[in-house]
A and B are shown apart, each in its own frame.
Chain A
Amino acid sequence: MKLELGYIQINDIQFSKECKVENSTLFVDPDAVKAFMYEDDDVKAWVKDFSFDVAKPGESVRITPVKDVIEPRVKVEGPGGVFPGVISKVDTVGSGKTHVLRGMAVVTAGKIVGFQEGIIDMSGPGADYTPFSKLNNFVVVAEPVEGYQDHKHEYEHAVRIAGLRAATFIGEIGRNVTPDETQEFETLGIKEGIEKYPDLPRVAYVHMLQTQGLLHDTYVYGVDAKRTLTTIINPTETMDGAIISGNCVSACDKNTTYHHLNNPVVKALFAAHGKTLNYVCNIITNENVYLADKQRSSDWSAKLCRLLDLDGAIVSQEGFGNPDTDLIMNTKKIELQGVKTTIITDEYAGQDGKSQSLADADPLADAVVTGGNANEVIILPKMDKVIGTLDYVDVIAGGHAGSLRPDGTIEAELQVITGATNEMGFNRLSAR
């Protein structure tokens, strides 16, 4: 399966009645975006109103509480459309051509559904920890209908769909724009791969998807991944939005939809493909809360690694605590099949860094990459402008009573920053 990504660089976003991309500036009509979001019945039912804003790198702007971050893309050739099974029909994606509006994102914010929503600072020390401070962000702030507190699942669903629809609308603006740069990605069939690279080690990516419940869900072609068995997916399918975030776990180590679209493990494995290894495929497996599910899913991961005759696998986690057991079960069982692993996780070593970092451990997990200690405390300066609301800073995961100080500064753990300790290895942050 072969996919060509055409990158259209976006360096600025302007509100305008006309929607277009010109000289790397996106012109977009917020009213048109709003109308497109409201075409969905669930959005209509649960969101009273939307407001829009733009946040640019270096500005004194704080966006919070952030739910999801999404990169606008559009399929210009080949079967299917972006976010299959959710926005587009369920046709298999991952081949043909896709245009990417690079350098920007749609960010959804507004009243929280749960504690897991985050902060994006566009400047200052917090900006160093989130990759989204480097993007031009089209921020969609949702205002829920009255009484939404008793219908959190529905509200979460509506906001998730609204964000994806906004990204789809904006992606469409790039359909007829000539990309600034193109890049091709190809995954071969099993036999073809062995014939082409007989001497290279066969490596797959075991991609763990967070599936613990509300705000802890991930969807694959529209299917709630907690109701799936471990399976195989072409890496390029993920570039067309086959996997989307249900806004899971703490802000610092949730994989947003942006992360799924730009999965750094996929990128790094493609970069090494044909040189130091043969990148076979992605294996997606879930992180459910029941022990039987954990056992079944991790058994299945190991089984597939063996069936694919892999030499090695990279395992990435999402979340922490409970999923640490899934991570260790996967790793241990895959290693016991004779397949060598490297895992990517992050740490909860306490604010003083002295505690044990994971809730589970095994000596077979001897090659670990860490995204850093999420408990480390950071002071975020006051920003001139807040998009969204500061009402929840004290209660989101990583905050504490008094996190938001009277002078407008915030003292909190890195946990509160969207994407700070990402466990796909998106960032340079680490710990020792």
Chain B
Amino acid sequence: MSYKVVHYINQFFANIGGEEMAHVAPELRDGFVGPGMAFNQAWKGEAEIVKTIVCGDSYFAEHEADAKAQVLEWVKAEKPDFFIAGPAFNAGRYGYACATICATVQEELGIPVLTGMYEENPGADLKNKVLMVATANSAAGMRKAAPAMAKLALKMMKGEKIGASCEEGYMPNGIRKNFFEKKVGAERAVDMLVAKLNGKPFTTEYPMPSFDRVAPNPAVKDLSKATIALCTSGGIVPKGNPDHIESSSASHYGEYCIAGVEKLTSEGYETAHGGYDPVYANADPNRVLPVDVLREMEKEGKIGKLHDYFYTTVGNGTAVANAKAFAAEYAQKLLQAGVHAVIMTST
């Protein structure tokens, strides 16, 4: 039994015509049409295109809702194992249609999808949503693109583990995956440097992200009336780490009451952090979470009140996405509790 596949192509690849025929409405045909033949050949009977949907690029762009609804209806009726679109190369509207319809099928019907296009095709904006194979910028690249897409598609249909983008040929989709290179890192570094020195092309293995910088809030007007909370990524926890916050790559944060606690003692608190010398923090946990100093300020009337709870996690190797999610959650708790400002200590 072979996997059932539905293929989406435009009017040009269906041989209906070029720009002058881009207005044609979606049409459902049996079996493969045009580039689908190459997929079928590559799959050698393990998978097969059962239906091909042809749609004009202008039609899709101008009647997106209708086109989507029609395609969804046909795909749903067919119950295929896989949905494949394109490849679109550098055709902008076609690429947009392929990416958009793939995203829709994937979301609405839960069917795995794949498309392919040139990396600068506007449709590639959806590469973090839909897996897409990088192709040449013109249809002359079909001979390479079709087998690459067919191979990855078959792997997906079989539920096999998908490797890193450079191994499988899909565009980097924001999900980092490990794999083994042919050369060790140091040799790759020397090769890359020599290329860079000679003005030759090289590809970084990790493109630098653009960082989101957080602008500080305006200063608190009157500290003597403010409730201040202490938060830390330095891993200060009650002794014994009751919530088992990981020493690295924390999966959660802790919320602990310090009402009535004058200062943190080495008997009561410690650090769970695995990324710095813990000796001094364990001897005097106030060094990381300065409860002692804040209590003094509270007495002196410099601050209104130290908040009854502190929030803590381990910053060591913790994914930024995790850290962001922790803070988003406990920031709401702080707001609800009427906290005016937070001192966040790091290590």
| A residues in contact (CB < 8 Å) with B | 114-116, 128, 152-153, 201, 203, 212-216, 249-250, 264-265, 267-269, 271-272, 276-277, 289, 311-314, 316, 319-322, 340-345, 347-363, 365-376, 394-401, 413-415, 422-432
In the complex, the 8 A-B pairs of residues with the closest C-beta atoms, listed nearest first: A425-B185, A350-B319, A213-B277, A115-B274, A425-B186, A397-B248, A264-B186, A355-B319
Contact B246 A214, beta carbon cutoff 8 Å? no
Contact A431 B274, beta carbon cutoff 8 Å? no
Enumerate 21 A-B pairs (CB-CB under 8 Å) in ascending A order: A201-B198, A212-B277, A213-B277, A250-B274, A264-B186, A314-B189, A321-B275, A350-B319, A361-B210, A367-B202, A368-B204, A368-B205, A373-B177, A375-B319, A376-B177, A396-B274, A397-B249, A425-B188, A429-B179, A432-B165, A432-B179
A353, A398, A427, A430 pick with most chain B CB within 10 angstroms = A430
Kindly list chain A residues whose C-beta atoms are within 8 Å of the C-beta of B247.
115, 395-397, 399
Chain A residue nearest to B251 (CB atoms) is A400
Chain B contacts with A in 150-208, Cβ cutoff 8 A: 164-167, 172, 174-190, 192-194, 196-198, 202, 204-208
Chain A residue nearest to B250 (CB atoms) is A400
Kindly list chain A residues whose C-beta atoms are within 8 Å of the C-beta of B190.
265, 268-269, 271-272, 277, 314, 342
Task: State in angstroms the CA–CA spacing of A395 and B192 once bound together.
Answer: 38
Contact A369 B249, beta carbon cutoff 8 Å? no
Contact A312 B193, beta carbon cutoff 8 Å? yes
Chain B residue nearest to A400 (CB atoms) is B246
Contact A415 B176, beta carbon cutoff 8 Å? no
Q: With A415-B248, A430-B179 given, is the CB distance from A311 to B277 under 8 Å?
A: no
Contact A424 B186, beta carbon cutoff 8 Å? yes
Instruction: Count residues of B near A (Cβ-Cβ below 8 Å).
Output: 59
Residue B256 CB within 8 A of the other chain: no
Contact A314 B193, beta carbon cutoff 8 Å? yes
A369, A394, A425 pick with most chain B CB within 10 angstroms = A369
Kindly list chain B residues whose C-beta atoms are within 8 Å of the C-beta of A153.
279
CB distance from A270 to the nearest CB of B (A): 10
Task: State in angstroms the CA–CA spacing of A314 and B196 once bound together.
Answer: 12
Contact A264 B276, beta carbon cutoff 8 Å? no
Contact B316 A347, beta carbon cutoff 8 Å? no
Chain A residue nearest to B193 (CB atoms) is A342
Chain B residue nearest to A413 (CB atoms) is B249
Q: Name A's interface SS.
A: loop
Chain B residue nearest to A415 (CB atoms) is B248
Contact A116 B274, beta carbon cutoff 8 Å? yes
CB distance from A318 to the nearest CB of B (A): 13
Residue B315 CB within 8 A of the other chain: yes
Kindly list chain A residues whose C-beta atoms are within 8 Å of the C-beta of B197.
201, 203, 277, 311-312, 340
Contact B244 A400, beta carbon cutoff 8 Å? yes
Query: 8 additional contacts, CB 8 Å, given A276-B194, A277-B190, A314-B186?
Result: A212-B277, A215-B277, A271-B187, A340-B196, A341-B193, A371-B185, A431-B177, A432-B177
Contact B179 A397, beta carbon cutoff 8 Å? no
Contact B317 A348, beta carbon cutoff 8 Å? yes
Kindly list chain B residues whose C-beta atoms are within 8 Å of the C-beta of A312.
193, 196-197
Choose one: B204, B246, B317, B319; the contact of A366 (CB below 8 Å): B204
Chain B residue nearest to A366 (CB atoms) is B204
Q: Name B's interface SS.
A: loop
Kindly list chain A residues whose C-beta atoms are within 8 Å of the C-beta of B276.
212-213, 216, 289, 322
Q: With A267-B186, A355-B320, A373-B176 given, is the CB distance from A432 to B164 under 8 Å?
A: yes
CB distance from B232 to the nearest CB of A (A): 15
A-facing mask of B299-324, CB < 8 A → 1, else 0? 00000000000000001111111100
CB distance from B128 to the nearest CB of A (A): 9
Kindly list chain A residues whose C-beta atoms are within 8 Å of the C-beta of B317.
250, 320-321, 348, 374-375, 397-398, 415
Choose one: B180, B189, B318; the contact of A265 (CB below 8 Å): B189
Kindly list chain B residues whose C-beta atoms are within 8 Å of the C-beta of A376.
177-178
Task: State in angstroms the CA–CA spacing of A398 and B210 once bound together.
Answer: 27
Kindly list chain A residues whose C-beta atoms are within 8 Å of the C-beta of B347.
289
CB distance from A149 to the nearest CB of B (A): 10
Contact B184 A428, beta carbon cutoff 8 Å? yes
Q: With A396-B274, A399-B247 given, is the CB distance from A268 to B189 under 8 Å?
A: yes
Kindly list chain A residues whose C-beta atoms are within 8 Å of the C-beta of B187.
264, 268, 271, 425
Chain B contacts with A in 198-244, Cβ cutoff 8 A: 198, 202, 204-211, 244
B182, B249, B276 pick with most chain A CB within 10 angstroms = B249
Residue B278 CB within 8 A of the other chain: yes
Q: With A153-B279, A373-B177, A429-B178 given, is the CB distance from A355 to B189 under 8 Å?
A: no
Task: State in angstroms the CA–CA spacing of A271 and B321 once bound together.
Answer: 41
B192, B198, B248 pick with most chain A CB within 10 angstroms = B248
